[in-house]
């Protein structure tokens, strides 16, 4: 793997950019691995990277049904924040936040991390009280958070309407200054490239068709490109997690829903931060290309189609226009859906399973992107040591039996 640098960029630009080599090795499937990661999205590639880098498991493969970055990694709205209410959530999301800060340097790949600040708006007295409580809870957990009144919200984000005549007027909001956005492709490509450089095989266009379980142990898996023998299988399959788990006769508390997002035509820089609103349900930021990136809520029904219904979009855009009347003439350019794996308590599952050697990282629902590096690192730790570390432990599967849920539905700062 060649090192990316300004010097190298200059050298290649003089040669007309014809000398760039692929970012990761193309590998054939081997018959035996020490560990296999199912799913080549952000979390999957990160898992493989940390398995190789921190645990020496370099004889690892990432099996991806489509192409790297073609699933939810390429479909999310890239919002990064860690202002969750509960200690367990704050621990994992803020762990990820700390990793984001230096990820570009670590991977030698510009992930375009922009800590531009995330505002969560309050539109009524109850919401104000809740969000203020969350600010204090965040501060106790070392997560940067502050409360802004309506005027301060508008100072931070000048284009927002704080008119008291609005149907749901902006009364204030929380600000996490370290929050922001980054570049989804760069993150997943950066992890794949760095993992590949450590010896991990990145296998694309390879669908898992079955898991080999003998007694209570996993011994391998079947794929459309051949069978693999391996003692550890780590599933990071997002919306298809239930499908994979079913191959080992494991039932999960996960439901897969379409989640839609859309971008406008590109315009000059106008929106300087990320604005999210729970009550009217909208979130919006501006990409470096100039498009407004807008996210909707999930469609209520279970579906694997990566398509949602139009009324959801209509509702989201109505909310966006109420917050930002200035966008009323913008045209929309693209609109898509992804399949999100929603857990009943809106918290992820990072867990061992009843099948020894089979591990699951799933249930991130509508907000997994922000956790990518932290999720990959603690999951790699679990896969390598067969025991969850302190950060991963609260997210084990047995919390649905014990009742010790991490119920972030009300506190996750955006409706699900």
Partner 1 sequence: MFLIPCPFCGPRDQSEFSYGGEAHIARPTEPEALSDEDWANFVFMRSNPKGVFAERWHHTAGCGKWFNVLRNTATDEVLASYKTGEPPPAVAGFQLATPSGEPPIGSGNDGTKVVP
Pick from 233, 216, 297: which is nearest to 262 by CA?
297
CA distance 285 to 274: 5
* DSSP-derived pairing of the beta strands 332-342 and 255-264: antiparallel
**To the nearest whole angstrom, how small is the minimum distance from the Cβ of residue 398 to partner 1?**
9
CB of 76 to partner 1, least distance (A): 20
Residues making contact with partner 1 (CB under 8 A): 65, 207-210, 222, 224, 240, 242-244, 246-247, 251-256, 300-311, 344, 400-403
Token code pair at residue 358: 């089979």
d(CA 414, CA 276): 7
> To the nearest whole angstrom, how small is the minimum distance from the Cβ of residue 228 to partner 1?
15
Q: Which is nearer to partner 1, 28 or 311 (CB)?
A: 311
CA distances from 117 to 84, 144, 265, 272 (A): 15, 10, 23, 8
Q: Are residues 86 and 133 in contact, defined by beta-carbon separation less than 8 angstroms?
A: no
Cα separation, 175 vs 193, in Å, equals: 34
- Quote the least distance from Cβ 401 to partner 1, whole Å: 4
Smaller CB separation from partner 1, 307 or 334: 307
In the complex, least distance from residue 40 CB atom to partner 1, rounded to whole angstroms: 16
Q: Among residues 185 and 212, whose Cβ is nearest to partner 1?
A: 212
Least separation in angstroms between residue 253's CB and partner 1 is: 4
Smallest gap, in angstroms, from Cβ of residue 301 to partner 1? Answer: 5
Q: Which is nearer to partner 1, 390 or 404 (CB)?
A: 404
Would you say 121 and 173 are in contact if contact means Cβ atoms under 8 Å apart? yes
Measured from the CB atom, the residue of 104 and 220 that comes closer to partner 1 is 220
For the chain, the first-to-last Cα distance in angstroms comes to 41
**Residues contacting 380, CB < 8 A, separation 6+:** 46, 47, 48, 49, 50, 51, 54, 55
Nearer to partner 1, 249 or 288 (CB): 249
Closer Cβ to partner 1, 224 or 385, answer by number = 224
């Amino acid at each position: 793997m060649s090192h990316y640098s300004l010097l190298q960029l200059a050298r290649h630009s003089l040669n007309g950019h014809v000398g760039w080599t692929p970012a990761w090795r193309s590998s054939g499937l081997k018959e035996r691995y020490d560990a296999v990661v199912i799913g080549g999205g952000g979390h999957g590639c990160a898992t493989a990277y940390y398995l190789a880098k921190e645990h020496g498991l370099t004889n690892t493969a990432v099996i991806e049904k489509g192409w790297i970055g073609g699933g939810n990694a390429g479909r999310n709205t890239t919002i990064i924040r860690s202002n969750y209410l509960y200690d367990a959530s704050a621990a994992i999301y803020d762990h990820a936040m700390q990793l984001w800060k230096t990820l570009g340097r670590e991977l030698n790949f510009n992930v375009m991390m922009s800590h531009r600040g995330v505002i969560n708006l309050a539109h009524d007295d109850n919401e104000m009280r809740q969000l203020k409580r969350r600010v204090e809870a965040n501060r106790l957990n070392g997560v940067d958070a502050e409360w802004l009144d309506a005027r301060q919200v508008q100072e931070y984000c000048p284009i927002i309407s704080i008119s008291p005549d609005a149907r749901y007027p902006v009364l204030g909001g929380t600000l996490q200054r370290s929050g922001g956005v980054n570049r989804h492709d760069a993150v997943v490509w950066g992890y794949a490239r760095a993992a590949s450089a450590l010896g991990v095989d990145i296998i694309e266009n390879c669908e898992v068709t079955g898991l080999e379980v003998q007694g209570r142990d996993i011994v391998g898996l079947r794929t459309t490109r051949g069978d693999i023998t391996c003692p550890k299988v780590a599933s990071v399959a997002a919306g298809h997690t239930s499908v994979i788990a079913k191959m080992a006769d494991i039932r999960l508390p996960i439901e897969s829903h379409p989640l839609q997002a859309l971008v406008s035509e590109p315009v000059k820089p106008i929106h300087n931060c990320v604005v999210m609103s729970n009550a009217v349900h909208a979130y919006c930021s501006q990409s470096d290309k100039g498009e407004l990136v807008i996210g909707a809520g999930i469609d209520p029904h279970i579906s694997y189609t990566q398509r949602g219904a139009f009324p959801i979009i209509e509702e989201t855009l109505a909310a966006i226009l109420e917050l930002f009347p200035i966008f009323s003439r913008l045209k929309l350019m693209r609109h898509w859906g992804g399949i999100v794996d929603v857990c009943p308590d809106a918290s992820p599952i990072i867990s061992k399973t009843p099948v020894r050697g089979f591990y699951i990282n799933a249930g991130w629902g509508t907000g997994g992107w922000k956790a990518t590096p932290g999720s990959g690192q603690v999951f790699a730790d679990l896969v390598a040591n067969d025991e969850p570390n302190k950060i991963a432990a609260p997210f084990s599967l047995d919390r649905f039996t014990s009742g010790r849920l991490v119920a972030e539905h009300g506190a996750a700062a955006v409706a699900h």
